[in-house]
Amino acid sequence: MKVSQSQLDSGTLPLLSDQGDREEVDVGVHGSAGGKEAGTGSPVTAPRTPSGSATVSPSERIVAAARQGDSTMLRTYLTSFSPEETLDKDKCNALHLLAKAGLLEPILPLLSECPIWREALSHRNTDQNTPLHMCNFNLISLKLISAARSDALQVSNKDGNILLHMSVLANTLSVSDRIIDVGGLEQLDIKNKVSVTSQHTRSLPFLGPLILATIKMLQSDISKFIVIYLFILMSFAAAFMSLSYDHDHFGTFERAILTLFYAGLGDFKDPLDNALENDLH
């Protein structure tokens, strides 16, 4: 079966599936995402859906092609649809869905051929997350970081976190290092909405995220921030004192409060070192 432009426009392209049956499609369509021909017009094969054909969204077609590892159909879809044509109700484009499914890697070779899709790596959904924000940082390909533009790495989400914040919070050192290599050292100084940089979080990989998450959870009204923060300091200090009685991590209740105070504020390295080195008795 030949795939015409009218089929692309009407949304009747066959959806790739796990079925083994395949049918011929014509990749020589005139793509709406840039006005270029996607191929030479010679027939190629693509898996047939169980029902033969179905009306499905462009995003579903792209995700299905990536799941199958069908680079030919991926190229056809990416050159036939713009990112805007794949948006869902949450303003997620096809790359958001691929990231969520852990399927961004199959499209990496095509990003250089489809500049608008490379730019779509920095598009934000209703939660202000880019496709890169939605990746599983324990499984993310370093090639994906290298393929992204440096400005895409510095797009912040609704919490003010850039990609480096999130990779550090996930404790993925190799990903964080690659982000710094691609995006530059200036990323280390970018603060999120609670004035914490990725460098501060990286200094205390377990304590920093814990404090940050608790503050974000409770900081619904800025007028209550001081009271909430003091309560957090005392509560966490007491908890850490009781949990570390056989270690010399904090020493005294005052030292524990001081440690948590600087961990929450961010600029704490030198004062924290002093707090840990000096006895506050």
pLDDT digits over 58-86, tens only? 999 999 999 998 999 999 999 999 999 99
> Which range marks the domain in which residue 253 is found?
204-281
Residue 218: inside a domain: yes
Residue 210: inside a domain: yes
> Phi-psi bin for 82: left (phi > 0), alpha (psi -120 to 50), beta?
beta
How large is the greatest C-alpha to C-alpha distance in the chain, in angstroms?
82
Residue 9: inside a domain: no
The total number of structural domains in the chain stands at 1
First to last CA, the chain: 82
Nearest-angstrom CA–CA distance, 63 and 175: 24
- Tell me how many helices (H) and strands (E) the chain has: 15, 2
Residues 157-178 have a mean pLDDT of 86
Residue 187: inside a domain: no
Residues 223-244 have a mean pLDDT of 65
> Quick check: 37 and 30 in contact, CB under 8 A?
yes
Q: Which of 51-55, 115-119, 247-251, 276-280 has the highest mean pLDDT?
A: 115-119
| pLDDT, tens only, 24-43 | 444 434 344 444 444 444 44
What is the pTM for the complete model shown? 0.55
Where residue 269 falls among pLDDT bands split at 50, 70, 90? very low
Q: Is 64 exposed, middle or buried, given 0-12, 13-18 or 19+ CB atoms closer than 10 A?
A: buried
Residue 230: pLDDT over 60 = yes
* Structure tokens belonging to residue 225: 């921030």
Residues 117-136 have a mean pLDDT of 91
| pLDDT for res 37 | 40
Nearest-angstrom CA–CA distance, 235 and 36: 61
Nearest-angstrom CA–CA distance, 67 and 87: 19
